[in-house]
Structure 1
């Protein structure tokens, strides 16, 4: 296995051998997988945003040209770039282009607290920032300029402007601190030969939910994330006929690969990028695009259900509604299938990697009242008491997990690693759970300092 970035914890050699032998890890980078998807699904629609439709072939060409443009502007393999974009096609293009250039995207949802973005830059020593010039009244360019003045390694800012909006930068400009600014749309150059990248390298860094202090960043490799997205897609029988609505931030753990954006692209399906979970806009998108699956937190699901009577959208295309990120009442769970029509799938997902889901074919009682079972047959799960001892089925305890897509440590965070990972590699999720007699997990709560990603 190729060495990870400095500051990352590798899987032990015996685990690497086991995951390879089991076929979990495929040895292909995510950006190279996109090349294959473009060859196989070229004219199909990969991304939809409003009236914009992007085919697989066009997506791959744009990624190729943007990757070359990033390299032309001095970005080199192993460097880090913070990406903070809303749910627009440029988000997907940028993330894949950076990976294709060997650069590590630091995924940052556009709603991430402004006070935390400088810390993301500092911890990762990011040399670049990609964000909207302004978004919903907030000046991201000013935020980037402030960070650049504070941290001298940030020297490239790429700004996204919505189509039809004139960029403040006609081309690359430089401020007194020697930071370069350019519109994201100008990052374009003739494609270059593919770089010799390794699937064992970090594909991106994903912020874990936390208490607002120093951010914990999860290094996700190409191997482990490709496996997670592929396995999650297989679990729900995802095909090229499926249409996934990304109402949650597409760069978040839940919407990115559970199966989410990457899982849908991997089977030739269509990803519809929404600007949020607003019930009217999303329900209309379900009808217009014939959406078949989506992911929501419980509060958004309840808002959708309550809006059905007034919006009156045809949601008969929905076949699966994933709900995770918080406790789901039985009453709401029952309403999902009765009123939205799609099969409910309860999900417990974290940026660190643990992914627990109900299966579409599970008994109704399990789907309505549990979070199901871990994604992988090689997930190792413990439910332990305060002393680290296993508790009997039915008794609550802390959920500990290790497996082929669960990170072994945070990025450059020795103190957090000592608190959050056991000596033998189990991730302490902080979630309180109990195991039913049938083997399903019921997440009953969590310690205040940890929370499931959503």
Structure 2
């Protein structure tokens, strides 16, 4: 039987590097690395790691900040058939230890800080090869010590594991999604076609994984000086400066980062005339944020917000023109947030809400057109399984012949134009004596008040409680704002029953994008306030 072999993401990068040669692939702290130099790192490191005894399919923990070493190590692991384990350091010390225990890596490639944490936490006892990257530790080998000129032969199977990407754990314990080389290749080709990405463009990626895709597509990646685990607290000039100095064409940032940049740009009159596209993911981007940031862009340049999850990305896509021109008005009426039309190859369905496992797909699971249910997706961008989490896989995956449908854990509906609308997390729906309330449609109504930065619907027992984070500059008392918000809520059938409002100084958010509101933590806080 023949095996499907095609260029993996590392192969695509090496092909790109052969074409672009001495053109700049990477800029960090003023130091430029050419495509030829980075490709040489990749090929020599891949060969060296295999010569050091690592075998295809074995897992390697990779905890390195965005840098030349991160790019070369990731592509080298792909090229060698090894499986990098990618964990967001923001998930916390204890969760990091759990994820590493689950993945049992045979090698650990990390920054000096990561190796200190490894020693303190006694992480990765299964590792037989510990290598320092992006720095040095006395007595420990570095990535450059494993370079070999002996060429590697062969390729990787489409269906072979390429990486383990751990979810952020924003709505539960972090889970390791198993990515195949086929999934990564599908994602790269989707990005290229959806956004007309061209070789020679300059990108400022503020999310490490997308920077790797940029390099594979022939873009120059300018790495900003920022804490990538806290995009919501970024110094705006740390992102604005590289865009302006390098004439960047593309920016990828979380909604929290765009909010921070947009407020800064509005205050200081900053323009970003070279940008051709902006992409944001991790949570829905509020219309207020889109409107503010768009003022910094040239006419006709859009902010695109792909919808998806670690396990399936991208699922759908919408641009700021459609949001600001049409769908944001419907969001303000409590219709949910439109996340656009399914991307090429994605089959999106909405099924009846259930917290139970669904073993096999059946068309009868679908809800009626326009009805709210759980979003399910099938396609080449969907990961099939979790690492050593059969219970989680049973809840999230539905067998459909030889394929798998992923349950997003999100609620939504499909409108008459074929667009997908996001209505909140399934686990965060609020059960009241009068029926279920979905977070996003409720919050969309109250978010229209100019003194409100954002809101979060939670439940305390069977009571719906609206938590409010105010705009810092709003000059209105809590009592007056509460009265006005209750008046707004009374205009809509689904919000008129929300009668309890609490004010929180700064919502807890997810660690990866600083954009998803931690409603579970807010619910505990609200219960304490009301007790």
Coarse TM-score class (shorter-chain normalised): 0.7 to 0.9
Aligned to 1:293: 250
| Cα distance in 2 for residues equivalent to 1:112 and 1:452 | 6
Q: Cα 1:61–1:84, aligned 2, differ >3 Å: closer, same or farther?
A: same
- Give the Å deviation of 1:385: 2.3
Q: Is the 8 A contact 1:246 1:261 kept in 2?
A: no
Q: Secondary structure at the match of 1:46?
A: strand
Is 1:168 matched up with 2:103?
Answer: no
Q: Could you say which structure has the greater relative contact order, defined with CA pairs below 8 angstroms and 6 or more residues apart? A: 1
- Give the Å deviation of 1:433: 1.4
Q: Which has the larger radius of gyration?
A: 2
Aligned to 1:229: 188
Q: Cα 1:211–1:413, aligned 2, differ >3 Å: closer, same or farther?
A: same
2:126 to 149, 153, 170: 153
Is 1:183 matched up with 2:142?
Answer: yes
| Cα distance in 2 for residues equivalent to 1:150 and 1:202 | 23
Aligned to 2:312: 353
| Cα distance in 2 for residues equivalent to 1:418 and 1:452 | 26
Is 1:105 matched up with 2:84?
Answer: yes
Q: Is the 8 A contact 1:42 1:55 kept in 2?
A: yes
Q: Is the 8 A contact 2:10 2:78 kept in 1?
A: yes
Aligned to 2:223: 273
Aligned to 1:283: 240
Is 1:434 matched up with 2:402?
Answer: no
Aligned to 1:177: none
| Cα distance in 1 for residues equivalent to 2:17 and 2:270 | 33
2:166 to 207, 228, 232: 207
| Cα distance in 2 for residues equivalent to 1:212 and 1:103 | 29
Q: Is the 8 A contact 1:206 1:220 kept in 2?
A: yes
| Cα distance in 1 for residues equivalent to 2:99 and 2:148 | 28
Aligned to 1:87: 66
Is 1:402 matched up with 2:370?
Answer: no
Aligned to 2:212: 261
Aligned to 1:373: 341
| Cα distance in 1 for residues equivalent to 2:327 and 2:195 | 14
Aligned to 1:141: 115
Aligned to 2:351: 384
Q: Cα 1:319–1:299, aligned 2, differ >3 Å: closer, same or farther?
A: same
1:6-85 equivalence runs, <5 A:
27-85=6-64
Contiguous gaps of at least 5 residues in structure 1: 4-19, 21-25, 135-139, 174-180
Is 1:334 matched up with 2:291?
Answer: yes
Q: Secondary structure at the match of 1:90?
A: helix
- TM-score, scaled to structure 1: 0.81
- Give the Å deviation of 1:268: 1.9
Aligned to 1:321: 278
| Cα distance in 1 for residues equivalent to 2:242 and 2:92 | 28
- Give the Å deviation of 1:229: 1.3
| Cα distance in 2 for residues equivalent to 1:220 and 1:367 | 33
- Give the Å deviation of 1:117: 2.0
Q: Is the 8 A contact 1:358 1:372 kept in 2?
A: yes
CA RMSD of aligned residues (A): 2.8
Q: Cα 1:366–1:324, aligned 2, differ >3 Å: closer, same or farther?
A: farther
Q: Cα 1:326–1:452, aligned 2, differ >3 Å: closer, same or farther?
A: farther
Q: Which runs of 4+ in 1 moved over 6 A?
A: 449-453
Q: Is the 8 A contact 2:255 2:282 kept in 1?
A: yes
* Count of residue correspondences: 403
Q: Is the 8 A contact 1:293 1:321 kept in 2?
A: yes
Contiguous gaps of at least 5 residues in structure 2: 329-336, 355-363, 430-509, 514-531
- Give the Å deviation of 1:2: 8.5
| Cα distance in 2 for residues equivalent to 1:2 and 1:121 | 34
Aligned to 1:238: 197
Q: Is the 8 A contact 1:351 1:453 kept in 2?
A: no
- TM-score, scaled to structure 2: 0.70
The farther-off stretch of 226-235 and 439-448 is: 439-448
- Give the Å deviation of 1:312: 5.5
Deviations 1:114-172 (A, max 9, x none): 212222222121011122112xxxxx22222245x56541222212244xxxx232xxx
- Give the Å deviation of 1:372: 1.1
